[in-house]
Amino acid sequence: MMVLIVPEYLSLLIGDVETGVLSERAVLKEIRLVKKIASTAICRRALEKAGGGTVALIPWNLLASLNSELLAKYAHSQRPD
């Protein structure tokens, strides 16, 4: 379930950055929290069973295509290939 909900949640937050409702730093804080949670052994196993993996949790393409220089740089430097 997390594989479906978290990317949508982050996409909504990214949309809030584009409209100026939320700061870029607030979104980065949430993304870092998701990455921290996803890095736990229990979460990694659950994501693997669900067929997602941690890469599927963060909408990297959406982040990279933003007008926000900070978020685009973060996406390019952190996105797993």
pLDDT digits (tens, 9 = 90+) for 36-76: 998 899 888 888 887 766 778 899 899 888 888 999 999 98
CB 66, CB 23: distance < 8 Å: no
Global pTM reads: 0.84
| pLDDT score recorded for residue 49 | 83
CB 24, CB 68: distance < 8 Å: yes
Kindly give, in sequence order, each residue whose CB lies less than 8 Å from that of residue 45, ignoring residues fewer than 6 positions away.
none
Per-residue pLDDT for 24 more than 70? Answer: yes
